[in-house]
Amino acid sequence: MDRRHVRAKGVAEGFAVIFDLDGTLVDSAPDLHRAANALMAQIGAPAFQLAEITSFIGNGVPVLVERVMAARNITAERHTELVAEFLAIYEADSTALTRPYPGVEAALDRLARDGAALGICTNKPERPTRDILEALGLLDRFGAIVGGDSLSLRKPDPAPLLRAAEQLGAVNCVFVGDSEIDGETAARAEIPFVLFTEGYRKMPVRKIPHRATFSNFDALAEMIRQVVSRTE
């Protein structure tokens, strides 16, 4: 089966746009930074700068906490405990400082008017993902939400992205993300990838496989139309 052409009930024709969340639709680093430093305060470890925590984002909460622990020489045996503590702190108020990037809401509205089904595929756990989208007034725009704990596998494994595509059931699908992890996920799923250059990537743009790039959400809808037209 061509993974770019997944059908499901309710959608005969059209296309889907699936988004990563952190560093793509929303700038969530300040809240993750706040939670990490609250955790450090609990265990008597030094706080982090925002740039340090931003560099840890992308592979999900367990890996973020693993990187925090490595940076503070905390023994690996405490990982399960500290992941649970971090999530308790973070989920208690995951949107105090998190905001959509400029132009996100208008871009989502434009894509919906163009007939796109919209979805989320993120390594953030599903509960805080939904909490953030709801608090920012974005939740109802998405017909599929696949989080880092929705399946047994996380990005860059293609399974979560393919699950979101299946749930949306559009003929053509595009994945929009901000990182090398997202680029690898799309490549493995055989889904065209559009790269947002202003997020949390750790590699140069030229080293991330992509069909197109953008730095301003005002340009996204037309770019998606072009990418879809080339894959039909």
Q: Are residues 34 and 49 in the same domain?
A: yes
CA distance 102 to 216: 8
For 101-160, how does the pLDDT look when each residue is reduced to its tens digit (9 = 90+)? 999 999 999 999 999 999 999 999 999 999 999 999 999 999 999 999 999 999 999 999
- State the Cα–Cα distance between residues 91 and 105, nearest whole angstrom: 23
Catalytic residue among 20, 27, 178, 182: 20
Q: Note if the pTM is more than 0.85.
A: yes
pLDDT of residue 231: 72
Quick one: pLDDT at residue 232? 64
Q: Tell me if 4 is assigned to some domain.
A: no
Tabulate helix, strand, coil % of the chain (nearest 5): 50, 15, 40
CATH of residue 63: 1.10.150
Domain enclosing residue 36, as ranges: 29-92
Q: How many CB atoms lie within 10 A of CB 134?
A: 12
The CATH code of the domain that includes 115 is: 3.40.50.1000
Residue 22 annotated to the active site: no
pLDDT at 6 exceeding the cut of 70: no
- Domain assignment of residue 175, yes or no: yes
Instruction: Classify residue 196: in a domain, yes or no.
Output: yes
SS3 44: coil
